[in-house]
Amino acid sequence: MPGPALTCWLIGIPVLMKRSASSTAMSRRGLLSAAAASGFGLIAQKALGETIDFHVAGGPSTRPYTTTFPEKGRMVLQRNRPPWLETPFDVFDKGVFTPNNQHFVSWHWATFPTSVDLNSFALKVHGQVERPLSLSLQELMRDLPRFEIAAVSQCAGNSRLYANPRIAGAQWANGSMSNALYTGVRLKDVLDKAGVKAGAGHVLFAGLDDPVLPEAPRFVKSLAVDHARDGEVMLAFAMNGEQLPMLNGFPLKLIVPGWSAVYWIKMLNDIEITDRPDPSVWTTRSYRVPDTANYTVEPEKADFKLIPITRNVPRSFVTNLKPGDTVKAGAPQLVRGIAFGGDKGVAAVDLSLDGGRTWQPTVLGRDEGTYSFRQWQTTVALPTRGTHALTVRCTNTDKVMQPMQRVWNPGGYLQNQVETVEVVAA
């Protein structure tokens, strides 16, 4: 009798892999044990009753915390269905790697599996290739070299809540970003295995999620073949040493280090190599920014060209002090936070106590990689009693610096102006 379905895979242990290959579970029908629409539990959302107030004008300012989502701890609930769960900001003070159970969550369509069978899951590679592939997870994990990369995943609309004038869309505060150490295989190796045909310039990615309405556009994103083959773009099966939470894309996720999280397709199962650019609304209509300095325009203006969002931009935050916190006047005060350089590493994080007229350097923490959060810290003394503004600014290794002026565009995307925290010295 053939072996039972695998209960556990130890990566790189051939005995288990071999057993899996001979298992009838491998050929079992049905990719998913449940389709999404029927799989949603009809459990009313029960928030903790605790809320957070983001103190913004022009609309609802508070959100509930929730602990009702599977494999997730305490999260800020921005939307139930499909889930938009924000990482509570205090998490960012605890270290550069966001715990998996507080890694932010964002889905475009509500129809996605609530269960995925590891034995029948397959990644299809097709289109303009010499050898179309259907790869099992076992094959991906056994046959291709693994690597690890730390990278920040940030929604293109992170911080949209703070846009002024306000903008429709996901009303994220600063928590639709998270950092993790990913483990996976190189997309390049998978593409080379399939053999990309000459002249095919684009790679289109899709996952197991589907629109609720059949006429609606499937969520897809694409990369240029050269980017896809850069050796850094990853197909990840683990983050922070654990398999992916279901809501973060179990069992396989596309990792595009340095690029906006919109490209990081969850539950990735379809890679199509094509000879034309992505025709979907997700690139031609949504996720577009003005082709201007800092992607910024005057709110009333409409005479600008729009381009697709691609790279992340540098950002930095104070994490150990909140607006309104009281500190001791004249005493040494630690100021600490996180920064990331966008598509490049962090070169420097500077702090200003005078609204940006003068800057003092901070000490950078351990470098976990170009695309990771990096901690920074310094000690200041605020000699006079009263309110003091602490402004923090990241400069990346390409000498790109966070702008002083507010970023504003009609989609509320790629906000990265310097952040200021006002504290009271007493």
Partner 1 sequence: MREHPTMLRRTRIALLVTSFAGFAAWSAVAYAAKPLELHPKPEVDLPFGDDLSFPEGPGSDVVAANCVTCHSVDHTLNQPALSREEWHKVVDKMITAYKAPISKDDAKTIVDYLSRVKGEP
- Determine the 3-state secondary structure of 390 from DSSP: strand
Pick the binder of partner 1 from 23, 68, 274, 292 (CB under 8 A). 68
Pick the binder of partner 1 from 1, 44, 198, 302 (CB under 8 A). 44
* Footprint (CB under 8 A) of partner 1, residues 96-125: 96-97, 99, 109-110, 114-118
Contact 66, 49 (CB under 8 A): no
The one-letter amino acid code at 47 reads: A
Burial of 29 (0-12, 13-18, 19+ CB in 10 A): exposed
Q: What's the first-to-final CA gap in the chain, in angstroms?
A: 76
Q: How many of the other CB atoms lie within 10 Å of CB of 231? A: 10
Instruction: Read off φ and ψ for residue 91, nearest 5 degrees.
Output: -60, -35
DSSP conformational letter for 418: P
Q: Does 389 bind partner 1 (CB under 8 A)?
A: no
State the nearest-atom distance from the C-beta of 93 to partner 1, in Å: 7
Pick the binder of partner 1 from 175, 207, 251, 342 (CB under 8 A). 251
Q: Which helix (H) or strand (E) holds 362?
A: none
Span interacting with partner 1, options 31-39, 290-298, 401-409, 417-425, rule CB under 8 A = 31-39
Which of 180, 228 has the CB closer to partner 1?
A: 180
What does the longest C-alpha to C-alpha distance in the chain come to? Answer: 79
Pick the binder of partner 1 from 171, 294, 296, 352 (CB under 8 A). 171
Q: Does 397 bind partner 1 (CB under 8 A)?
A: no
CA distance 251 to 231: 21
Pick the binder of partner 1 from 17, 144, 151, 246 (CB under 8 A). 246
Cα 98 from chain centre: 11
Pick the binder of partner 1 from 377, 389, 403, 422 (CB under 8 A). 377
Contact 146, 185 (CB under 8 A): yes
Which of 30, 165 has the CB closer to partner 1?
A: 165
Span interacting with partner 1, options 81-89, 220-228, 253-261, 342-350, rule CB under 8 A = 81-89
Q: Does 77 bind partner 1 (CB under 8 A)?
A: yes
* Footprint (CB under 8 A) of partner 1, residues 271-330: 281, 285-286
How many residues sit in the footprint of partner 1 (CB under 8 A)?
86
Which of 200, 306 has the CB closer to partner 1?
A: 306
Pick the binder of partner 1 from 264, 368, 370, 388 (CB under 8 A). 368
Which residue, 43, 40, 47, 52, is CA-closest to 87? 52
Which of 98, 128 has the CB closer to partner 1?
A: 98
- Determine the 3-state secondary structure of 191 from DSSP: helix
Q: Does 424 bind partner 1 (CB under 8 A)?
A: no
Residues in contact with 209: Cβ distance below 8 Å, sequence separation at least 6, in sequence order: 36, 107, 108, 109, 111, 112, 219, 266, 267
* Footprint (CB under 8 A) of partner 1, residues 334-353: 334, 336
The one-letter amino acid code at 263 reads: Y
Pick the binder of partner 1 from 1, 7, 15, 53 (CB under 8 A). 7
State the nearest-atom distance from the C-beta of 168 to partner 1, in Å: 5
Pick the binder of partner 1 from 17, 125, 150, 346 (CB under 8 A). 150
Which of 64, 403 has the CB closer to partner 1?
A: 64
Q: How many of the other CB atoms lie within 10 Å of CB of 9? A: 18
Q: How many of the other CB atoms lie within 10 Å of CB of 65? A: 17
* Footprint (CB under 8 A) of partner 1, residues 184-243: 211-213, 215-217, 237-238, 240-241, 243
CA distance 172 to 105: 11
Q: How many of the other CB atoms lie within 10 Å of CB of 167? A: 17
Span interacting with partner 1, options 57-65, 123-131, 308-316, 354-362, rule CB under 8 A = 57-65
Q: Does 41 bind partner 1 (CB under 8 A)?
A: yes
